[in-house]
Structure 1
Amino acid sequence: MSEQIAEFEVTWPTLGYLQADWMAWHLPIPDGFRKGQPFILSDWQLWCTANHGRVRPETPWRPEDPIKNQAFAYRRSLVVGPQKYGKSPWAAAETAVMALGPDLFAGWAGDDDVYDCARYGCQCGFVYEYEPGEPMGMPWPTPLIQLMATSEDQVNNTWRPLQQMVLRGPLSERIRVGEKFMRIGDDGVIEKVTSAESSRLGNPTTGFVQDETGIYTKSNGLMGTAQTMRRGTSGMGGRGIELTNTWDPAEESTARSTYESRAADLFKFYRQPPKNLSYKNKRDRRKIHAFVYFGAAHVDLDSIEAEAAELLEQDPAQAERFYGNKLVRGMGTWLPEGVWEGAYASLGRVVA
C-alpha cells in the first residue's frame, strides 16, 4: 500500500526536482550545527517530494485557466515516520513551496525554457533550466495555507522551522513572519489552526499540512475538523500533506482512514519494519531502527535505542509505534490484537 525508498527510481514527470532545487536555494537549515546551510533533501524527503509533485503525463496546459490539483497524480500525501525522522522540517519546506514556490503545473518545457524567480517578483537570482518535455511549475497567485495540529505546541513543530527558514533566507523579503500567521506579499497568508481555532476552517485554502493525524479521532472531533479543511482546499483545487507517527490501530483516526483508503490519488509513504523481527529483542530492535530511520543521517541510533529501551519498560506499545514505526495497539486496548477477531473466526463468523 505504501511507496518504498528501495524503489527510488523516478520514471515519471514530476515537479519534485525543480522544487528540491528551489528549496536548497531559498531555505536554510533552521537549527542544529548545520544551521544556515542550504536545506538539501535527504533520500526519503526527495522521494516524497518527487511523488507529491508527480504530474499526470496527459495534462494539457491552459494558460487562461490552469489545471490545479487534477494535474497531479496525488491530491494528498501521507508520510508516516518514527520520532525525529525529519517530517516537520520537510513539511516546513513543502509549505514554503506552497507559499511562493513552483507548486502549480505550468505546461511542458521546450528546448530553452527555464524557471526564473525574477518572473514571479523574487530577485534572489534562482534560475532552473528545464529538460525538454519536463513539466514546468509556477506559484499560486493568492496562496492561503493552513498548518493544523491538536495544540499550539504541536503546530509549532512545523511553524518554528518554517519561521527560521524564512527569516534566515531570501524569502524574508517577501514573507512577513508573525506568531500566529505569516503574510505572503500583499495577498497571501500562512496561518495556524488548532482544535481551539476551528473558526478559521472553511476558508478557500490552496494548501495545508496536518500534523499528527494519527491522533485526529472521531471522539476528539479532529477527524471531522480535518475533513472540513480538506473540503475547503479541494474547492480551490489545492492539495495537502499529512504527517504522523504510527497510529494506534485500535482507534479510528484520520491517518488510519487515509492509509486504508482505496483512493488511487493518495500517496502513502510508510516504511514498516520486517515482520520477522521482534522489537523486544535488542539485536532485532537495532535492525528495526536501522530500517525505519534509513535516509535520516541526522539521527543517532544509539540515542534512539537508549530511549526506546527505557520506554519499553513503561509502555511497550508506545515504544514500538514511536521508534519502531510499527502498528501496535496501545496499552488501553481491552484485548490483545487479534483475540476478538480470532474468537469470532473460530465460530465461523467474520468481524465487519
Structure 2
Amino acid sequence: MAAALSCVELAGPVVFDGFDSAGEAVGRPHPSPHVQLAAVSQDQAYNTMSLTLAMLGGGRAADEVDGLDLGLTRVRTDRGKLEPVTASAPSREGQRLTAAVLDEPHLWTFANHGVRLAATLRRNLGKTGGRSIETTNCWRPGEESVAEATAAFADLIAAGTLVGKLLRYHPKAVVADLADEQQLRAGLAALYADSPWIDIDRLVSEVYDVNTHPSDARRYYLNEVAVAEDSLIAAHEWDACETSERLQAGDMVTLGFDGGKSDDATALVAMRVHDRLLQTVGIWERPENAHGWEVDRAAVDDMVRMAFTTWNVVAFFADVEQWTSYIDTWSADFRDKLLVAASPSSPIGWDMRGRGQASTLGNERLAAAVRDGLVKQTGELRLRAHVLNARRRPNRYGVSFGKEARGSKRKVDGWAASLLADMARHEVVESGRLDRPEPKKRSGRVYGFG
C-alpha cells in the first residue's frame, strides 16, 4: 500500500483542483513532486522501493508518465523524483518534499538517529503542505520510538487534549487468554478477515511455538502494543473490560480522587457499586509545552459537586496531598451523604503516603479484578493511558504501583483515582450497610412543660 501511494504521489492527481459539473472532487498531479521512502537502514528502505520499481516497471506506467526513468536508487520523471533515504545520510533539512513514507518507525529511536530523521522529514513536509504515512509494527513501550510518539500524539487528539490532523488505522485482536485456542482463532480470523492469503492455522502454530514469547505473539500477530516487563496491567487485560455501558443518573457510585497541581495530573473517577463500572469524571493534565500551567481547581471542584448532584455517591476517597483545604470543604459539605468514612479523621481524606498496607492490598485486589474481567470500563483514552503506564512496585506488603521513573511524563494518576474509588466501594460493600433497610420514620407528639 505504501509503495502504491508513493507511485500515486509521484505522478497521480493528488492535488485538489476544484469540483466537476457533477460536484465530484477533481485532482491534478503535483507540479514538482518529491517523494522519499525513509528508513533507518538501506535494506529496510529498499523493501518499499523494490515494490515501487515493480509497480512502475510493469503495466502502462511508461506510457502514462512523461519522462519515467527507473533506477535502482531513484525514480525520475519530467516533473519530479522518488528516492529512498536513510537515517545514516547527511541532514536533509530544507528539501522541498511533497510526500514521505516512514517505514517501520517502531525501530526509529534516538540511538539510530531515526527520531531526528522523522523530525527533519516532517519539517520539510510542513513547509510545502506535504504529507507522510507511517507503516509500522506495534512498538515496544519505553523505547521512545517514532511510532510510540505518534501513537501518543494520536491519543491526545482523540481525547481532545490537542488539536491536530492525523488518520490512525490500527486494527487489533483483543484476546484475553492466549491459551484459549478458540478465542485466539476467533481474534485472528476477525483481524485478518480482509487478508484471505493469511493462513490462520500457521499463525496459531507460531503463537504456540515454545520459542515465541507471549508479548511477541501479541505484538506481531495480534497487533497489540507490547507491555513492559513490569507493567501492572496489560493492554489486552484492560481492553477486555471495555463496555458500551455508561453511568446513569441516580446510580449508586463511589468516587476516587488523586490530585496534582502543575506537573502531575489530577483525576476524578466514579465506580458503580453493583458491577464495578469505572467511568472517568475528569482528568486534567498539563498541555504539551505549556509553561506555568496549573490545574483549574475551581473546575475540579465543580466536577466533584456535579458528581454528587448526578449520582448517589455513597463513598468518596481522595488522596490528601496538595488538596487538603478542598477535601476539608468536601467533607463538611457531603459527609451526611456518605455511608463510610475514608479514615478515622476524615470522611473523604485518604493519605496514600501513610497507609501503604491498605493501599497495596487494594491495588492487588483491583489489578486481579481487571485480569479476571470483574471490572467494567468505558474505553476513555486518557484513563486507559494512565492504567497502562502503571508499573508493579513490590513492597513488604505485596505489590503496589508507581510510575516507570521519577519525573516521567507517563502519568498514573487515573489508576490511583480508580484504586481509591474501588477501595471506597470495597469498604461500602464490606460495611453491610447496603443490605440494611432504611429506618422507619416515627411520628410523635412534642409536649411542653411549664
What TM-score bracket applies, with the shorter chain setting the length?
0.5 to 0.7
Query: 1:177 is matched by which residue type in structure 2?
Result: L
CA positional deviation for 1:260: 1.9
**Which residue of the partner structure matches residue 93 of structure 1?**
4
Matches within 5 A, 1:89-128: 90-110=1-21
Q: Which ranges in structure 1 are unaligned for 5 or more consecutive residues?
A: 1-89, 111-131
**Whose relative contact order is higher, 1 or 2, with alpha carbons under 8 Å and at least 6 apart?**
1
Query: 2:202 is matched by which residue type in structure 1?
Result: S
CA distance in 2, matches of 1:183, 1:264: 33
**Which residue of the partner structure matches residue 73 of structure 2?**
180
Q: Are the structure 2 counterparts of residues 230 and 272 from structure 1 closer, same or farther at C-alpha, using a change threshold of 3 Å?
A: same
Residue 27 of structure 2 is aligned to residue 137 of structure 1: yes
Which one has the largest radius of gyration? Answer: 2
Q: Are the structure 2 counterparts of residues 172 and 199 from structure 1 closer, same or farther at C-alpha, using a change threshold of 3 Å?
A: farther
Residue 375 of structure 2 is aligned to residue 317 of structure 1: no
Scaled by the length of structure 2, what TM-score is found?
A: 0.48
Matches within 5 A, 1:190-339: 190-261=82-153, 262=157, 263-274=163-174, 277-310=176-209, 313-329=211-227, 333=229, 338-339=390-391
Query: 2:401 is matched by which residue type in structure 1?
Result: A
Q: What is the alpha-carbon root mean square deviation over aligned residues? A: 2.4
Contact 1:289 1:324 in 2 (8 A): yes
Contact 1:210 1:241 in 2 (8 A): yes
Percent sequence identity is 30
CA distance in 2, matches of 1:136, 1:196: 39
CA distance in 2, matches of 1:336, 1:309: 24
CA distance in 2, matches of 1:258, 1:313: 30
Q: Are the structure 2 counterparts of residues 162 and 235 from structure 1 closer, same or farther at C-alpha, using a change threshold of 3 Å?
A: same
CA positional deviation for 1:251: 2.1
How many residues get paired? Answer: 234
CA positional deviation for 1:222: 0.7
CA distance in 2, matches of 1:155, 1:336: 37
CA positional deviation for 1:154: 1.4
**Which residue of the partner structure matches residue 431 of structure 2?**
none
Q: Are the structure 2 counterparts of residues 294 and 264 from structure 1 closer, same or farther at C-alpha, using a change threshold of 3 Å?
A: farther
Query: 1:266 is matched by which residue type in structure 2?
Result: L
Contact 1:193 1:200 in 2 (8 A): no
Q: Which ranges in structure 2 are unaligned for 5 or more consecutive residues?
A: 158-162, 234-389, 394-399, 414-450
Contact 1:202 1:229 in 2 (8 A): no
**Local SS of the residue matching 1:172:** helix
1:222-262 per-position Cα deviation (integer Å, ceiling 9, x unaligned): 11210110110111111111110111123222112222212
CA distance in 1, matches of 2:131, 2:118: 13
CA distance in 1, matches of 2:200, 2:90: 38
**Local SS of the residue matching 2:23:** coil
